[in-house]
A and B are shown apart, each in its own frame.
Chain A
């Protein structure tokens, strides 16, 4: 992009920080919903540059992190079956199940392939008609259209040896669940820009009104994140609670209508358990009846799954913004990227991974307004 560097401009960062400092009069808790934004914030030190009144709470927007343990265990069971080629995005392979991960299954002889796109999995199925090819279809609204397309193409092309293990989750019900929690501390949301690029933001005004909470759609570059924080702080200081779009170069109100149409055709909404959080009503997608023959859970009877979570892992509290990763007793000790206890330490968008990878081994120390901002 010709102008991408502008959104990383250090002077712009300093200017926006100065404006935030000028506006803020009292403490505010903001939640960035998306794990991609969490990584941008930690990588660029944005949380440390903000005035001490602004606290950023990391949200549950990492699909790898919130995929329930039972889905991981089902994936492990299916991937272990003979004659199955199991395809997945790379960051799912090291997510711990109850007693192993997909890498372990691979080392035990399982045919597990890392793919870049669900279309790659479909291609593997077409090229290997003698094998059952299963794709682990996880993700938020951003990823679901790709997986919907793969299933629809399989149906249209009559590909019978392809199926998907679906564990899709939706953002707006999660926002409602966070705001309804008795331990909620969130006063404004930075909404995930790429989720909104697909779904638009027409679902958000009722949420902003119902919970009287500002929701600002933001991108991932430092200026995008800070512009979102500025807009949220301005609303909070004025007592407002509106939806604002600070990522208009990518997101519009309606979203991607062809993608939404195929999502509605291929999936139906159901209640869904989020790992570490619990059941959230109407927060998941499953295959609609017309596509049920492509459901790996139906095709492969994986039987009763008994899940066992690590008692040492506090990722659920991290995902709900109740604690920072460094407040978990296992962080950096029993739990590291090489020895993860939970998905938040494994995923490329996990909050624990962000803290570990960028050297945050102590609780966030927030600078005072007088300290200089560093370049991004």
Chain B
């Protein structure tokens, strides 16, 4: 019930005065209400719960978190693994 799925906004349109969008969940596309995210744009990622986009996903923050893990040296210290920089792994 509280789980929400990340997806990418592919299309934005209005339906009966409601801001709606088509969101792609890794190949499955569903109609989603975008009324709670007035700023979201096509191409953005969002978390969707019971047909509503509730939060935009901040890619910069995600990469920052991953880089923090690497800066802590967690991978190298324990296992001698030399991870590639985040940017080159996508």
Q: Which residues of A line the B interface, CB within 8 A?
A: 1-4, 6-7, 11-12, 14-16, 18-19, 34-36, 61-64, 89, 91, 116-120, 138-140, 142-143, 145-146, 149, 153, 157, 192, 194-195, 197-198, 220, 223, 227, 246, 248-251, 256, 258-259, 262, 347-349
Contact = CB atoms under 8 A, between A and B. Distances in A.
Contacts of A36: 2-3
Contacts of B81: 11
**Interface of chain A: mostly helix, strand, loop or mixed:** helix
A6 B50 contact: no
Interface string B1-13: 1111010000000
A349 B4 CA distance: 12
Most buried by A among B1, B45, B78, B90: B1
Contacts of A3: 59, 62-63, 66, 86, 90
Nearest to A373: B78
B35 interface: yes
A138 B1 CA distance: 9
Contacts of A64: 1
Interface in B41-90: 45, 47, 49-52, 54-55, 57-59, 61-66, 69, 72, 74-75, 77-79, 81, 83, 86, 89-90
A363 B25 CA distance: 36
A143 B2 contact: yes
Given A2-B90, A145-B52, A249 B58 contact: yes
B34 to A, nearest CB: 10
Given A116-B50, A249-B59, A153 B18 contact: yes
Given A16-B69, A248-B64, 6 more contacts: A6-B86, A7-B66, A11-B81, A15-B72, A35-B1, A145-B36
A146 B50 contact: yes
B52 A146 contact: yes
A12 B73 CA distance: 10
8 contacts: A35-B2, A117-B52, A145-B52, A149-B35, A194-B3, A194-B55, A198-B55, A249-B62
Contacts, number: 148
A1 B57 contact: yes
Nearest to B89: A6
A323 B1 CA distance: 23
B78 A18 contact: yes
A258 B19 CA distance: 13
B86 A142 contact: no
B33 A119 contact: yes
Contacts of B83: 11
A34 B81 CA distance: 33
Given A4-B6, A194-B2, A223-B69, A251 B33 contact: no
Contact of B54 (A12, A120, A198, A347): A198
Contacts of A246: 65
Given A6-B89, A157-B16, A348-B1, A16 B57 contact: no
A68 B31 CA distance: 32
Contact of B47 (A117, A138, A223, A250): A250
Contacts of B6: 1, 4
A262 B54 CA distance: 13
A197 B54 contact: yes
A198 B2 CA distance: 11
Given A6-B86, A15-B79, A349 B36 contact: no
A186 B60 CA distance: 33
Nearest to B49: A142
A15 B75 contact: yes
B72 A143 contact: no
A140 B1 CA distance: 8
Given A1-B45, A142-B4, A256 B54 contact: yes
